[in-house]
Amino acid sequence: MDPAENLTIRQPDDWHLHLRDGDVLSAVLPYTSAHFARAIIMPNLVPPVRTSADAEAYRSRIEEQIPGHHDFTPLMTLYLTESTDIEDLKAGAESGLVKAVKLYPAGATTNSDSGVRDIDKVMPVLEAMAAIDLPLLCHGEVTDPSVDIFDREAVFIERVLEPLRKRLPELRIVLEHVTTRDGVDYVQSASSKQAATITTHHLMIDRNHIFKGGIRPDYFCLPIAKRSDHKTALRKAATSGNPKFFLGTDSAPHPSRDKYTSCGCAGVFNAANTLSCLAQLFEEEDALGHLEAFTSLNGPAFYGVPYNENRIRLRKTEVPVTYPAEIQVGEDVIKTFDPETDLFWEVVKDDTN
Ligand code: DOR
Ligand code: ZN
């Protein structure tokens, strides 16, 4: 087969993933663990994963649900609150359990009510994190209702991120799910302590998708998708090979009944087709040679963990690949991200493993 139709890469990691708990956890986890070796697990459960004991218990619940033939390691995070216990956090990090801490500005998104209202109140925690080199993962949006929802990321950079960088330049910070040219430019020009994750869906949709022919709750996520020129900037960053940008799918399952309602939840479940989407868009950008950097090299380098030794193979197909359009969880369904285009790349098990 033509090598251009076949691509073997180190096994990817997902540096931003929502797995939830209980029945949803067991339904969605196999889609990630089938292809990914590791994932940074978001802590926005109800109640949140606030302490090392919470993280350890959650990790056990995840591990119990990993299919026996999958080799997958969940990397745990703590949810930063104004009462985070520094000693507990340090113990969790030193034991290797806690890999990062997530900052949700209170009220910014799903299950963020226990998040941070006043950054000054968490400065001692952030200083302790800088001292032990534990990364801070930012949901980078201000919550000020007077700021337009499409501007909340750019304003976060100006009001929160840059002042924080100045106060604590040694703290490693990831601007999670970056959605704007402003965010890309900021991270690109910042020090090597700063990086950004980019989601699959933000590389494929812009804000028009949310309103095409009516309102489309399946494309509603936070940060909200922006204009198409921002999407172009994200695609350029992701496909550039620049080590500051790596994959964080932000796969965030919600039952459709919680999305198709007068106040629908934010989140896109993309774990079931992420790698097909990515291979296709990297091919469109003539950048398949940089796919491995985005999915498998840049993240481990930033987090200071080894690359995965296993490989996966992506193969170009003649007929569109199939994936479940929705998954059933009890009485509920969770819709898979619809890229509104056929996908022609499939993941096949690599025989060199
Ligand atoms: O769209 C989103 N969904 N953005 C977030 O920040 C949270 C996530 C979720 O947990 O559903
Ligand atoms: Zn998220």
User: Which tens digit of pLDDT belongs to each residue from 217-273?
Assistant: 999 999 999 999 999 999 999 999 999 999 999 999 999 999 999 999 999 999 999
Contact 10 CB / ligand 1 (< 6 Å): no
Q: What pLDDT, on a 0 to 100 scale, did the predictor assign at position 3?
A: 55
Average pLDDT over residues 56-63: 98
**pLDDT tens digit string along 105-114?**
998 777 888 8
How far does the centroid of ligand 1 lie from the alpha carbon of residue 250, in Å? 7
Q: What pLDDT, on a 0 to 100 scale, did the predictor assign at position 2?
A: 58
Contact 109 CB / ligand 1 (< 6 Å): yes
How far does the centroid of ligand 2 lie from the alpha carbon of residue 18, in Å? 6
Contact 266 CB / ligand 1 (< 6 Å): yes
Residue 4 binned pLDDT confidence (cut-offs 50, 70, 90): low
How far does the centroid of ligand 1 lie from the alpha carbon of residue 169, in Å? 28
Q: State pTM to two decimals.
A: 0.97
Say how far apart CA 8 and CA 184 lie, in whole Å: 28
Contact 222 CB / ligand 1 (< 6 Å): yes
How far does the centroid of ligand 2 lie from the alpha carbon of residue 38, in Å? 16
How far separated are the first and last CA of the chain, in Å rounded?
19
Ligand 1: nearest atom to the Cα of 176 = 6
Angle between helix 86-94 and helix 123-132 axes, rounded to 10 deg: 20
Ligand 1: nearest atom to the Cα of 254 = 11
Contact 181 CB / ligand 1 (< 6 Å): no
**pLDDT tens digit string along 141-177?**
999 999 999 999 999 999 999 999 999 999 999 999 9
**pLDDT tens digit string along 114-142?**
899 999 999 999 999 999 999 999 999 99
Q: Are 65 and 26 in contact (CB under 8 A)?
A: yes
Q: What pLDDT, on a 0 to 100 scale, did the predictor assign at position 108?
A: 78
Percent of the chain with pLDDT over 70: 97
* 144 flagged as catalytic: no
Q: What pLDDT, on a 0 to 100 scale, did the predictor assign at position 5?
A: 85
Domain spanning 13-309: CATH superfamily: Metal-dependent hydrolases (3.20.20.140)
- 351 has pLDDT over 50: no
**pLDDT tens digit string along 326-339?**
999 999 999 999 99
Where is pLDDT greater, at 5 or 268? Answer: 268
Cα separations in angstroms, 77 against 25, 82, 96, 221: 16, 16, 11, 21
**pLDDT tens digit string along 269-304?**
999 999 999 999 999 999 999 999 999 999 999 999
Q: Are 58 and 21 in contact (CB under 8 A)?
A: yes
Where do the domains of the chain lie?
Answer: 13-309
Residue of 54, 182, 250, 338 marked catalytic: 250
Give the CA-trace dihedral at 188, 44, 119, 172, to 10 degrees: -40
Residues with CB under 5 A from ligand 2 (ion): 250
**pLDDT tens digit string along 180-206?**
999 999 999 999 999 999 999 999 999
**pLDDT tens digit string along 23-38?**
999 999 999 999 999 9
Task: Pick the ligand that lies closest to the CA of residue 266.
Answer: 1
